[in-house]
Amino acid sequence: MANATPLPREGQILVDIQDMSMLKDIKKAISMVKGVGKITIPRRRKLSSYDRSIRDIEEGRVYKYDSLDDLKKEIEG
């Protein structure tokens, strides 16, 4: 006879939500499931200006100009 491993008493499920406008409905639906004790929505950490700058570089949101005059022309329109 094989040894059976007992199920843990508590666990967690991570759900990725693409449409945040549905968050309230999803939270309500999950709370209706038998055995769900608590629903926690983690807060996002506010990024510093340095971290936002690094993210911009990594995601390609960087502009390159040949001269300062070219940048001024772009800003002035």
Predicted TM-score of the model (pTM): 0.43
Return the pLDDT at 39.
86
Q: What ranges do the domains of the chain cover?
A: 20-76
pLDDT at 2 over 70: no
pLDDT at 16 over 70: yes
Mean pLDDT of 2-26: 82
Answer yes or no: are the C-beta atoms of 40 and 49 closer than 8 Å. no
One-letter amino acid at 8 equals P
Question: Three-state SS for 74?
Answer: helix
Containing H/E element for 5? none
Question: Three-state SS for 63?
Answer: coil
* Chain-centroid distance, C-alpha 43: 9
